[in-house]
Amino acid sequence: MNLLKRKIETEGVVLSDSVLKVDSFLNHQVDPILMKEIGQEFVRRFHNKAITKVLTIESSGIAPALMTSLQLNVPLIFARKRKSLTLSEGLLTAKVYSFTKQEENTISISNNYIKEGDEVLIIDDFLANGQAALGLIELVQKAKANVAGIGIVIEKAFQDGGQKIRELGYQVESLVEIDSLNNNQVTFKEDVQ
């Protein structure tokens, strides 16, 4: 996705060999034009699936997931990382460790929104070690629904999350794959070959 690559090249900030900051367009300030194109691209890549729900994790996955669900004309559900006073019964939960934040969260969704037989498209902003994706897969499985696929905005291909998820048999579609963040520079996977 050329627009996304350009945004990463011009606005992304490499904080270390494993951390890319994209808060100017994806996970703090949101570029709606980019999100619209991301949603359209995910729909193109998963057009052959009978998707009934889109699932993400708060908060950075919400913008691309919302635009994808809008294009698909299906509901978006986001897994919460924090407990809610109004969401206390009938919860499906999974544990997710964030390497970026160095903390474990229990994510949850209401069992009212994903049901047996649903075809769920998981969308997230980053795929690195795969913990968020695995947690979302677990929620879908607990609901006795099916994971139709996993759409990732930015995959850190130099970490093992993508390989782990693909080895489980899931269709993973990453809009860009980063091969390296070494020397404060973003190197895309296709640029290495």
CATH of the domain at 104: 3.40.50.2020
Residue 105 has a pLDDT of: 86
Per-residue pLDDT of the chain (193 residues; tens, 9 = 90+): 999 999 999 999 999 999 999 999 999 999 999 999 999 999 999 999 999 999 999 989 999 999 999 999 999 999 998 766 566 678 899 999 877 677 888 999 999 999 999 999 999 999 999 999 999 999 999 999 999 999 999 999 999 999 999 999 999 999 999 999 999 999 999 865 5
Residue 169 has a pLDDT of: 97
Residue 88 has a pLDDT of: 61
Cα–Cα distance for residue pair 157/119, rounded to 1 Å:
26
Cα–Cα distance for residue pair 69/127, rounded to 1 Å:
20
Residue 64 has a pLDDT of: 98
DSSP state at residue 10: H
Domains contained in the chain, number? 1
CB 174, CB 154: distance < 8 Å: yes
Q: Which domain holds residue 147?
A: 2-192
Q: What letters, b where the CB count within 10 A reaches 16 and e where it falls short, cover 69-94?
A: bbbbebebbbbbbeeeeeeeeebbeb
**Token pair of 145, please?**
């629904």
